[in-house]
Chain A
Amino acid sequence: MRWLRRFRERALWEKRLESELQFHLEQQKEAYVAAGLSEAEARRRAAIDFGGLELTKEECREARGMNVLEIIVQDLRFGLRMLRKNPGFAAVAVVALALGIGFTTIIFSVFYNGFLYPFPYRDAQRLSVIGIVDTGHNSERFREVYRLDEVVAFRTQNKTLEDVVAYTGWDAVYLHQGISEPLHGCVLTPNAMGFWGVPPLLGRGLDERDAEAGASPVVLISYAFWRSAFNEDKGVLGTKMILNKQAYTVVGVMPRRFGLFGADFYAPVSWSHPEPASFSVDEPWTYFFATALIRPNVSLQTASADLQVIAQRLQSGHRKDYPEHFQMTARPLNEVIVDDFKQTLLLLIAAVVLLLLISSSNVASLLLTHHSARAREIALRAALGAGRTRLIRQLLVESLLLAMAGCMLGCLLAYLGLQVIRLVPGVGVPGEADMSLNLPVLFFAVLLSLLTTLFFGLSPALLAVKKDLRTHLQTIGGGADASRSGVRIRAGLVVGQVALSMLLLVFAGLMIRSFFAVTKFDPGMSTQGLLRAVVQFPAHQYESIEKRRAFSEQVESRISTLPGVTHMAVAFGFPPLGGPRTEDITIPGKPHDKHWDTGFDLVNEGYFPTVGLRLLRGRLLSPDDVAGARRVAVVSARLVKNYLDDEDPLGRQIKFNVFDEEPSLPHDAYFQIVGVVNDLKRFDPKEPELLPQAYVPYTVFGGRDYSILVRSVANPSLLTNPLRQIVADLDPNVVVGKPSTLEDELQLHVFLKPKFRLISFGACAGIGLGLALIGLFGVMAYSVTLQTHELGVRMALGAHPSNILTFVLRKALLLIGSGILLGLLTSFFTVRILQSQLWGVSPFDPWTLILAPAALLLVGLLACYLPARRATRVDPMAALRYE
């Protein structure tokens, strides 16, 4: 450890060197004094004789030789000192780097964790969903669910799969403290625990014995349910839950990330579970989803072909379960859950890359400016004998310091940003995804930034060092030609930055317009104060329509006494979010080739006032229509316009073709049109056209469950518990599904994504704009400094300050203008890809395309105003003397 000891002794050594040299000087001075010189003159002569004191010290240090640690410490100290001298430069460079690193890491982490590998399961990359594609029918997906005997066949006869698991939903009624609550459960085959490879958080998993006949019924509960129903009580193990009137023992709690099927609980099902003889609420498990774990190094194609052989055999036994021509497919699990949100994220990645470009070009331009400002210093030091390697090393250390500070801040930003993203409820990302920091991505971003900084930090240094010292010393200080090329590079960088932020601004502008289009969207009805709840009747009760109608009337009479409630209705859909629809209708006298797509709903007479539909012609459904299940219909204005050519619709007959396919709906039934109401627009960006709509009495439906809509002038979420209580008082066996308000549904399903896009693109554009402005400011300030001499001459020749201002601003305008033009040109070619993300706004939205450049121009000129003002204050005399 000799070098370490030497390092520690260093301070002492320095002190000794100092006193040794001082001693020499003193001696020499005294010699001169003795020779009769004055004290001051003696000191001067002594110093002259001695030569450069610092230089000597430096050479002594070199003679002594420095070890690595000493060199590093010295360079670090020097680097820090240089950065402290330019705190503005250092801060901007560090922030630019940090933003680049932070944002890239955040977005890529979200993409990776949300879409590429969102699952907590073991070997999730090899998991695929087994599906059947109808090759004889446009390659449509035929089905992805199977009877258990099919899954057993896949599992035992394959050659390419490690294992196959089957699972399906089980909506059970949970009786708890006298109130029936519907739970969303999931039944799993006995191999499931090993297959998914996620150990339970508490207790034990399910195994073979739990699924055997005669085993005591057990369930695993999900983390979310454990939290909401049991308040994270660790004593939950062993508790009995009454599900569908049977007691199940809770044996385990799954961890937070395990969210298979979004279920509240998981129950075992035996491989030999018989196909239920008839459809029953208590055991509805007929079809199961099948997920396969493909063996390592087996392609999806090979696995699909393997499954195809098995399915061909199965087809011969069950002709009607398979299309005539079909193909088995194995789709990666993560591909199944990706939706249009993936595109949002892809766009966001593009935006972040743009941002990264802006920020790194900013760092580059900053470093260039910084180094040309220091070129004189560097040349001077080189002239004074500083070694070239030493100079480069010091510049390197300085750049490294910057990069490291930027990286650290960037990591912090990435970490905090992801913490924030975690708070945002699943924006189209699977609930199981864990938004953790993606270390490889962070590493990559950090490395990239380090390299950028080092490259731009060092290349001007190499240049400055390489240049002939004399010319360098001469050229610096005036509006020299050598620096002009530097200005050009920087001007190019700034034009690029402005163009990129123009592009980001256009993106963000479209997102903002789109968001406001969504929130201002008028569906033709009031979206406030509407609550919907699904009512589920118990098995073998309420069989007759009279009983179900009587029940809804009892609920209505009680709920209308609650404060604020104005109307209640029975319906199936939830306007204006959607509802049932039929691909085609039949109207006598109106033959047609195309499909007449029509929405419909099965409603009672209270539906129209509850939703707020206005009668345009004829009459609405009457209580007698509903009580008597009369075949009458009220249609929307659009239906009359589109399908009846605006002829008088009253008295016309209409048939809903989808009814023929449903056992519980009247077949071959024609409904007489008795009235026309206004149209409702659906909150669906992919369906800009109004969908023709019809309403018929719900009593024509033989099925059991319906939903009720309650309109209130007060906050409808306050009605949730009273509604539950009313239903429980009437009949505790009737289940009220989770009531939801229209506003909440809109927030979650309609507004959330545009809001997310607005915020993320807005943030990107804002930061990009800020960085571009900093770049603009830097370049203008630098070019004003370079032109000080020229400006001085102009002013000396009589130029008015306002002339100077115009002169400088004209230059700025040229930079900003060309940047904006370039950006607009690029956006014209690229906005098309935004189409799917937009809502009621054209990608060539004139407001965006006018306002965004105007805003950019304005703030850009503001950023240049300060340097321009400084230019007008140039003192001609000082400027001329400066030379």
Chain B
Amino acid sequence: MLILKIVAAGPIHGYAISQRIQQISKDFFQVPQGSLYPALHRLEERGWVEADWKETATGREAKFYKLTRNGRKQLESEMEHWEQLSDAVALILSTAE
């Protein structure tokens, strides 16, 4: 979901995604950067993201990922699901006091 959310911002390549994750989570997730790629490929295989080979700003070929229509739907449903879940958790936490 995290990755989908980042990719939703527009065509972006793998390295940039990993930088974004680190940046956003403020190094909260201590994962090897490499493990991002299997996840990306899984998403691609499921048809939620698609990829294109384009030139970067520095003139190098890189694989840019962007969200597909299906991916957007998936992201929305996951967000919804997550919100419900976190609402429920917050509710339990607040009433249990």
Residues of A within 8 A of B (CB): 16-17, 19-21, 23-24, 26-28, 49-53, 55-56, 59-60, 62-65
Alpha-carbon distance between A338 and B84 when the two chains are bound, in angstroms = 89
Residues of A within 8 A of B62 (CB): 20, 23
Alpha-carbon distance between A63 and B40 when the two chains are bound, in angstroms = 9
Return the chain A residue nearest B43 by Cβ. Answer: A63
Return the chain B residue nearest A55 by Cβ. Answer: B34
- Of B33, B34, B60, B61, most A-chain CB atoms within 10 Å: B34
Picked from A27, A28, A63, the residue with its CB within 8 Å of the CB of B42 is: A63
B32 within 8 A of A: yes
User: What 13 additional pairs, Cβ within 8 angstroms, besides A23-B63, A52-B32, A56-B37?
Assistant: A20-B14, A20-B62, A21-B14, A23-B60, A24-B15, A27-B15, A50-B34, A51-B35, A56-B34, A60-B37, A63-B38, A63-B45, A64-B44
Q: Interface 1/0s, chain B 31-54, versus A by CB < 8 A?
A: 011110111011011000000010
User: Considering the complex, which residues of chain B in the window 13-30 have a beta carbon less than 8 Å from any beta carbon of chain A?
Assistant: 13-15, 18
Say whether A64 contacts B45, CB under 8 Å.
Answer: yes
Residues of B within 8 A of A (CB): 13-15, 18, 32-35, 37-39, 41-42, 44-45, 53, 60-63
Residues of A within 8 A of B33 (CB): 24, 28, 49-51
Residues of B within 8 A of A51 (CB): 32-35
Return the chain B residue nearest A20 by Cβ. Answer: B63
Picked from A23, A53, A63, the residue with its CB within 8 Å of the CB of B14 is: A23
Alpha-carbon distance between A49 and B32 when the two chains are bound, in angstroms = 6
Say whether A16 contacts B41, CB under 8 Å.
Answer: no
Minimum CB–CB distance for A53 against chain B, Å: 7
Residues of B within 8 A of A27 (CB): 15
Alpha-carbon distance between A218 and B88 when the two chains are bound, in angstroms = 108
Say whether A24 contacts B32, CB under 8 Å.
Answer: no
Minimum CB–CB distance for B66 against chain A, Å: 15
Return the chain B residue nearest A46 by Cβ. Answer: B33
Residues of B within 8 A of A49 (CB): 32-33
Residues of A within 8 A of B13 (CB): 23
- 16 pairs from A and B in contact (CB 8 Å cutoff): A20-B14, A20-B37, A21-B14, A49-B32, A50-B32, A50-B33, A51-B35, A52-B32, A52-B34, A53-B34, A56-B34, A56-B37, A59-B37, A59-B38, A63-B39, A64-B44
Residues of B within 8 A of A50 (CB): 32-34
Minimum CB–CB distance for B63 against chain A, Å: 5
Alpha-carbon distance between A807 and B48 when the two chains are bound, in angstroms = 69
Alpha-carbon distance between A62 and B45 when the two chains are bound, in angstroms = 10
Residues of B within 8 A of A64 (CB): 41, 44-45
Alpha-carbon distance between A49 and B53 when the two chains are bound, in angstroms = 24
Alpha-carbon distance between A26 and B15 when the two chains are bound, in angstroms = 9
Residues of A within 8 A of B15 (CB): 23-24, 27-28
Residues of A within 8 A of B44 (CB): 64
Minimum CB–CB distance for B64 against chain A, Å: 10
Say whether B63 contacts A16, CB under 8 Å.
Answer: yes
Say whether A63 contacts B41, CB under 8 Å.
Answer: yes
Return the chain B residue nearest A59 by Cβ. Answer: B38
Report whether over half of chain A's contact residues are helix, strand or loop; otherwise say mixed: helix
Residues of B within 8 A of A17 (CB): 37
Picked from B38, B60, B61, the residue with its CB within 8 Å of the CB of A60 is: B38
Return the chain B residue nearest A16 by Cβ. Answer: B63
Residues of A within 8 A of B18 (CB): 24
Minimum CB–CB distance for B23 against chain A, Å: 12
Alpha-carbon distance between A19 and B14 when the two chains are bound, in angstroms = 12
Residues of A within 8 A of B45 (CB): 63-65
Alpha-carbon distance between A578 and B60 when the two chains are bound, in angstroms = 101
- Of A24, A51, A56, A59, most B-chain CB atoms within 10 Å: A24
Given contacts A51-B33, A52-B34, A63-B45, contact A24 B14 (CB under 8 A): yes
Alpha-carbon distance between A49 and B45 when the two chains are bound, in angstroms = 25
Say whether A56 contacts B14, CB under 8 Å.
Answer: no
Residues of A within 8 A of B35 (CB): 51, 56, 59
Alpha-carbon distance between A50 and B19 when the two chains are bound, in angstroms = 12
Minimum CB–CB distance for B57 against chain A, Å: 11
Alpha-carbon distance between A26 and B41 when the two chains are bound, in angstroms = 20
Picked from B32, B37, B41, B61, the residue with its CB within 8 Å of the CB of A19 is: B61
Return the chain B residue nearest A13 by Cβ. Answer: B41
Residues of B within 8 A of A59 (CB): 35, 37-38
Residues of B within 8 A of A60 (CB): 37-38, 41
Minimum CB–CB distance for B18 against chain A, Å: 7
Alpha-carbon distance between A28 and B62 when the two chains are bound, in angstroms = 14
Minimum CB–CB distance for B41 against chain A, Å: 4
Minimum CB–CB distance for A79 against chain B, Å: 26
Alpha-carbon distance between A56 and B39 when the two chains are bound, in angstroms = 10
Residues of A within 8 A of B42 (CB): 63
Residues of A within 8 A of B53 (CB): 16
Return the chain B residue nearest A30 by Cβ. Answer: B58
Minimum CB–CB distance for B19 against chain A, Å: 8
Minimum CB–CB distance for B6 against chain A, Å: 15
Alpha-carbon distance between A24 and B37 when the two chains are bound, in angstroms = 10
Alpha-carbon distance between A55 and B34 when the two chains are bound, in angstroms = 9
Alpha-carbon distance between A825 and B83 when the two chains are bound, in angstroms = 83
Minimum CB–CB distance for A9 against chain B, Å: 14
Minimum CB–CB distance for B16 against chain A, Å: 8
Picked from A21, A26, A28, A65, the residue with its CB within 8 Å of the CB of B37 is: A21
Alpha-carbon distance between A28 and B36 when the two chains are bound, in angstroms = 14
Alpha-carbon distance between A108 and B32 when the two chains are bound, in angstroms = 63
Alpha-carbon distance between A12 and B32 when the two chains are bound, in angstroms = 26
Minimum CB–CB distance for B60 against chain A, Å: 7
Residues of B within 8 A of A65 (CB): 45
Return the chain A residue nearest B14 by Cβ. Answer: A24
Residues of B within 8 A of A21 (CB): 14, 34, 37
Nearest 3 A-B pairs (CB), nearest first? A51-B32, A59-B38, A56-B34
Minimum CB–CB distance for B33 against chain A, Å: 5
Say whether A62 contacts B38, CB under 8 Å.
Answer: yes
- Of B18, B32, B33, most A-chain CB atoms within 10 Å: B33
Given contacts A24-B14, A51-B32, A51-B33, contact A56 B63 (CB under 8 A): no
Residues of B within 8 A of A62 (CB): 38
Minimum CB–CB distance for A107 against chain B, Å: 55
Alpha-carbon distance between A50 and B15 when the two chains are bound, in angstroms = 10
Alpha-carbon distance between A62 and B38 when the two chains are bound, in angstroms = 8
Residues of A within 8 A of B63 (CB): 16, 20, 23
Residues of B within 8 A of A53 (CB): 34
Say whether A56 contacts B60, CB under 8 Å.
Answer: no
Alpha-carbon distance between A60 and B37 when the two chains are bound, in angstroms = 7
Residues of A within 8 A of B41 (CB): 60, 63-64
Alpha-carbon distance between A14 and B69 when the two chains are bound, in angstroms = 27
Alpha-carbon distance between A377 and B60 when the two chains are bound, in angstroms = 40
Minimum CB–CB distance for B53 against chain A, Å: 8
Alpha-carbon distance between A51 and B61 when the two chains are bound, in angstroms = 23
Return the chain A residue nearest B38 by Cβ. Answer: A59
Alpha-carbon distance between A116 and B70 when the two chains are bound, in angstroms = 70
- Of A16, A20, A53, most B-chain CB atoms within 10 Å: A20
Residues of B within 8 A of A20 (CB): 14, 37, 62-63
Minimum CB–CB distance for A15 against chain B, Å: 11
Minimum CB–CB distance for A793 against chain B, Å: 44
Alpha-carbon distance between A52 and B34 when the two chains are bound, in angstroms = 7
Alpha-carbon distance between A63 and B47 when the two chains are bound, in angstroms = 12
Residues of B within 8 A of A52 (CB): 32, 34
Minimum CB–CB distance for B81 against chain A, Å: 22
Residues of A within 8 A of B34 (CB): 21, 50-53, 55-56
Say whether B38 contacts A56, CB under 8 Å.
Answer: yes
Minimum CB–CB distance for A61 against chain B, Å: 8
Return the chain B residue nearest A65 by Cβ. Answer: B45
Alpha-carbon distance between A459 and B45 when the two chains are bound, in angstroms = 36
Alpha-carbon distance between A623 and B32 when the two chains are bound, in angstroms = 117
Residues of B within 8 A of A16 (CB): 53, 63
